[in-house]
Amino acid sequence: MAETYTVPFFINGEEVVTSKTFDVTSPATQKVVHKCSSATDTEVQAAVNAAAEAFKTWRKSHPNQRRDLFHKVADILEKRKEELGQYMMNETGAPRQWADSNIQIAKELVLDVAGRCNTLEGSFPVVNDPESAALVLQEPFGVVLAVAPWNAPYILGIRSILYPIAAGNTAILKATELCPRTMWGLCSVFHEAGLPKGVLNMLVHEHVNAPAITSSLISNPQVKKVNFTGSTAVGRIIGRLAGENLKPVLLELGGKASAIVWEDAELENAATQCALGAFLNSGQICMSTERILVHKSVRAEFEKKLVSAVENIFGPQTPAPILINSTAVNKNKKLLADALSKGAKLLYGNPDAQEETTTCMRPVIISGITTDMDIYKTESFGPTVAVYEIETEEEALRIANDTEYGLTSAVFTEDLRRGLRMAKEIETGAVHINSMTVHDEATLPHGGAKESGYGRFNTNKGLAEWVRSKTVTFKY
């Protein structure tokens, strides 16, 4: 791809290229792959105005119209999957398998929502006065601000705009500066499918301008609701800005997922699932396994199987995993150095290994973690996982819940009663019994507890996030 290409915005259905641009660098090659337009207040206001104007008609569109359009979106995603996958690989360093999986799940989300467009219903409640009646309508909010990250851009990007648009809202996607061509590709699919002008707008800006642009969008009176997927640190800022402006917000934030392996677990499966949960996409998934809690009686055997699973799936015969930037690598190495200096044991990998580039890092497994180590509390968001020894359910729950996060978790046991008992007590938005912590699909609500956010994506719950009730009373 030529370095002279500049990624445009979408404003009112048209591509917009600004004179001010910034470079987009591939973490795989550490070379500039293209440039990207950089938004100012002028483009922000234009996008908001376009979305607000489009809402006047889109809110009245028939659910069947939206359904048919989403079917076209799914078809185009399939038709352009090679092109779209390449954008993601170039900008994020993702392997082809992860890019293909992103596009496939995005397609499944679109098809699922297409079938739900007619499910938003009001009600006709009984009121006290027999000569009166009431209707409770479900209406879209208006202009929605959607902020999506780079690590699973097609999944997280599409869900941030899909559910609001399906419910009759219009959207502004504030795309990440780390993969703007990927987000442009996503938005271009909707426009190719025939989405009316202004229903979906896209902006990107330089990282340094994030506070000003984000504040400007959230404080704009025409923006009625916000959704954000990303780190808890930035989620706090988004939540504060939304609160100051009395705007509702949906947040899906960071995680510190625990996988609990009991003495009756099928250890081969547990080891494989924990390896995948910890190291898929280089551990750069909010649901990634960060803690593995293993019963004392099977710990030694499990650790051998875990090392073997990691070696078979992510070993030296495979390309070195690529992280989004060298900062992410340095963060993981710093966490490991701190833990090892305080007595942790290295079970697998070499934190000091010199890879092909400063953005590469292979999986590392450690054990012997204590609460004074930084890695005990900090989300690594990288190819690092820690093993803990447990003996009782109380101990497992104490460690699993001793975190500010609460997104997802896993329990490995052949005793379904124990699995369900643990699931009720773990403070997370999801618990997966005998499968990895990384699990997201269209038919399951997705969201967190505690400081992993609030609100839900997916299913009818995800659609209901984007309407509000209106009560209408009348006399017969």
The residues assigned a catalytic role are 252, 286
DSSP 283: G
Would the CA dihedral through 149, 153, 159, 161 be positive or negative? positive
- DSSP H or E run through 36: strand 32-37
93: tokens are 């360093």
Are 216 and 44 in contact by the 8 Å Cβ rule? The answer is yes
The Cα–Cα gap between 88 and 155 comes to: 12
Could you tell me the sign of the dihedral formed by the alpha carbons of 230, 234, 240, 245, in that order?
Answer: negative
> From the centroid of its chain, how far is CA 126?
41
**DSSP for residue 173:** E
In this structure, the strands spanning 32-37 and 6-7 are: parallel
CB atoms within 10 A of CB 301: 12
**Two tokens at 237?**
């800022």
CB contact set of 39 (below 8 Å; sequence gap of 6+): 9, 18, 203, 204, 205, 209, 213
CA distances from 142 to 12, 170, 194 (A): 15, 6, 20
CB 91 within 8 A of CB 179: yes
- Whose structure tokens read 């996060």? 405
Q: Per the structure block, which two tokens stand in for 79?
A: 């038709």
3-state secondary structure of 127: coil
Specify the DSSP class assigned to residue 417: H
Query: How wide is the angle at C-alpha 418 spanned by C-alphas 412 and 424, nearest 5°?
Result: 95
